Structure 1
């Protein structure tokens, strides 16, 4: 969606993001006169903004284009190497790091085990060392790094940059991650909930004609939901919107730690599916508190289903039906027409789940929408939450809105 600017002199920074965003969305290049028409800014304002962007190295002039009488006009294009963002995704199973350039291309990435130590200082040191290693391995100009985005399981306090008490990370209690990581790295830091970061990424990478009203079902160690309505990320009062894990989808189902039965965020996650498979003799029992063992067993369960094992397929099909009930509630509530799936544990089960999910959603008697619901997988490479975390930083640079996040270490 193209945005227009304002010619009032007090909002030069806002106009700069309007112009930069317009240039980014046209990789083939755009002339200044085309920018003026597109953004509703004056030719003088566009010329001044482009001069600042050229001086900052964020854009380049590449060739000329004839568009009428007079000499051909210079074509302005985004300079992908003009800036970089680091994304960090913290999951109970692993921490993923990515380096992304201004065009959104992932230049480098790495993955480490999630630190389990109780001392937050040691946790921050390990993350800072991994970030430094990523900077070195990617060989980018350190002065061009705009900041670090962190995607963390919720709940989080984004205003203070604190990871509160993720249910599957018992040692992470009120960790002041943003401030500590900013001090350890010397870089500005943003913090976001992981499912919300995934939505930011989807909007950033979306084709111009893609739906702007969707839910993102984030399938990791836990289940999260991110929301976009009219192209705006739904964050809520405390930036913790979208916690749909306690939607009851099976009143006779297993007891969730919350005390209720059949919560979708409990009965569909890898740990529970692996436990059921072991109980039914499909898999060998594993230590459910060992994230590596659960991941290995989960992938084995997915492989069995892919190879036609009826018992393994039944477990994943039941999970698909449970997800369908939650999806119907979410799409009814928001009148959205698309649900996107992704997350570190999604790829192994995608084929089996998507084979059962569309029918389960469309045939659910509770579905009231007069339009079809499209179900698709995220096309974002590597780790969608890590890329989303980096995109938070780029979004702050590009997004022409007064409510843009502040890149501040506090």
Structure 2
């Protein structure tokens, strides 16, 4: 059995009565295994797939034909070697499936559609007029409708599902925010769209996206951190995401963060006093976290994600490299400011098409 490096965390809940993509509603484990390998390695021959999966050549041929029939994989150009017949690489078809991601935050719904290889197709941000169940529900369905209006009939038929992510907590003393966490939005979305709906914590889903499509695609052990007003870590060991009672480490209060984020959105750079203060606080907290982690686990990679432009993330990465030990590789997430919606969009693909390790 191959070493699968991106086993998905279990989704919190899955809405029943799934719809959409009926032709690939339930794929066999072996088919999922082959698609998982193709997600890890772009362009593999039948021989390579057999070597990595342990499946027979006949089984590989049957699976590849089935996936071709469902338009989930495509053949590349034959490569002629020095010895033997030409070999043909097999790759996932980017347009073989699509997935919708929705992230609920205090101020807006962040949304994204990605294709089968994780490329963003459409992105959208819908502001919330109020933070209550009815407003969130109406904004979610309106945002999905707006996204679907961008797709043609053939693309809509290939929607693998809807991923929905929520923060691990809102303010404990605000009943309306706790009501949002308790409400069954996934059933609302299933009834509205007819698609299968997957729900997960926002940071866990984004860390999962990194292991599926991002910088952590071929990394076994790493620390993923999402930073805003809090530092939100996820430890990934052997390709599995460990959450447990993961702490949220405060960087600043919500009001300070909102002012800082508004300044960044308006074009402030790292020389802005508020931005510089936030960057310095993040670096100090991350350094402390890395040192604490070193007492019980060894990781060589740290991936940072934040709802800020790449220029600010790059400064954060550079500042942290000067602080932490030389043995730790620090990189920024490739998903950018819309990472949480991107993480949500990977949930249906992870759950429908990849092989989970035991």
TM range (shorter): 0.7 to 0.9
1:53, distance to aligned residue in structure 2 (A): 0.7
Corresponding residue SS for 2:180: coil
Q: Which moved more, 1:143-152 or 1:311-320?
A: 311-320
| Structure 2 equivalent of residue 280 of structure 1 | none
Q: 1:108 & 1:220 partners in 2: Cα distance?
A: 24
Which shifted more, 40-49 or 331-340?
331-340
Cα deviation 1:343-369 (Å, max 9, x = unaligned):
21475754554454344444xxxxxxx
Q: 1:396 aligns with which of 341, 351, 357?
A: 351
Contact 2:224 2:234 (8 Å CA) reproduced: yes
Do structure 1's residue 224 and structure 2's residue 224 form an aligned pair? no
Aligned equivalent of 1:211: 219
Q: Aligned partners of 1:12, 1:395: CA distance in 2, in Å?
A: 12
Distance in 1, matches of 2:92 and 2:270, equals: 45
Q: Is contact 1:80–1:102 with CA below 8 Å preserved after alignment?
A: yes
TM-score w.r.t. length of structure 1: 0.70
Q: For the structure 1 residues 394 and 326, does the alpha-carbon distance in structure 2 shift closer, same or farther, using more than 3 Å as the test?
A: same
Q: For the structure 1 residues 298 and 380, does the alpha-carbon distance in structure 2 shift closer, same or farther, using more than 3 Å as the test?
A: closer
Residues 102, 345 of structure 2: 8 Å contact kept: yes
1:261-307 deviation digits (Å, cap 9, x = unpaired) = xxx31xx1363646xxxxxxxxxxxxxxxx5x66324657x937425
The residue that corresponds to 1:285 in the other structure is: none
SS at match of 2:150: helix
Q: Tell me if the contact between 1:325 and 1:361 (Cα under 8 Å) persists in the aligned partners.
A: no
Show the counterpart of 1:127. 140
Counterpart residue number, 1:284: none
- Mapped to 2, the partners of 1:164 and 1:394 lie a distance apart of 31
Within 1, Cα distance between the matches of 2:242 and 2:164?
A: 18
Shift of 1:321: 1.9
What SS is found at the alignment partner of 1:190? Answer: strand
SS of residue in 1 equivalent to 2:55: coil
Q: For the residues of structure 2 that align with 1:164 and 1:191, how far apart are their CA atoms?
A: 20
Say if 1:273 and 1:79 are closer, same or farther in 2 by CA, change over 3 A. Answer: same
Report the CA distance shift for 1:48/1:115 in structure 2 as closer, same or farther (over 3 A). Answer: farther
Q: Which of 283, 289, 298 is residue 320 of structure 1 equivalent to?
A: 283
Note the C-alpha offset of 1:400.
Answer: 1.4
Is the Cα contact below 8 Å between 1:165 and 1:174 reproduced in 2? no
Change (3 A) 1:38 1:173: closer
TM-score, length-scaled by structure 2: 0.79
What runs of 5+ residues in structure 1 fail to find an aligned partner?
5-10, 156-162, 246-263, 275-290, 363-370, 404-410
CA–CA distance in structure 2, aligned partners of residues 319 and 24 of structure 1: 33
Indicate if the aligned counterparts of 2:269 and 2:312 stay in contact, CA closer than 8 A.
no
Which structure ranks higher in relative contact order (CA pairs < 8 Å, sequence separation ≥ 6)? 2
| Cα distance in 1, alignment partners of residues 210 and 195 from structure 2 | 25
1:154 and 2:172 matched: no
Q: Which residue, out of 24, 29, 34, partners 1:19?
A: 34
Correspondence list, 1:89-108, <5 A = 89-108=103-122
Contact 1:196 1:227 in 2 (8 A): no
The CA distance in 1 between the partners of 2:318 and 2:194, in whole Å, is 47
Shift of 1:188: 0.7
How many angstroms apart in 1 are the aligned matches of 2:108 and 2:56?
A: 49
- Correspondence for 2:302: 339
Q: Which moved more, 1:211-220 or 1:13-22?
A: 211-220
Match of 1:253 in 2: none
Q: Any stretches of 5+ residues in structure 2 without a counterpart?
A: 5-25
* Change over 3 Å in CA distance of 1:356–1:37 after alignment to 2: closer
Supply the distance in 2 between the matched residues of 1:97 and 1:333 (Cα, whole angstroms).
37
Larger deviation: 171-180 or 47-56? 171-180
1:379 corresponds to which residue? 334
Number of the residue aligned with 2:90: 76
Instruction: Select the residue among 124, 149, 159 that pairs with 1:145.
Output: 159
Runs of 4 or more consecutive aligned structure 1 residues displaced over 6 Å after TM superposition: 163-168
Instruction: After TM superposition, give the deviation of residue 387 of structure 1 in Å.
Output: 1.3
- Contact 1:220/1:346 (<8 A) preserved: no
Report if aligned partners of 1:61, 1:76 keep a CA contact under 8 Å in 2.
Answer: yes
Q: CA deviation at 1:134?
A: 0.8
Alignment check: 8 A CA contact 2:306 2:313 kept: no
Q: Equivalents in 1 of 2:114, 2:278: separation in Å?
A: 37
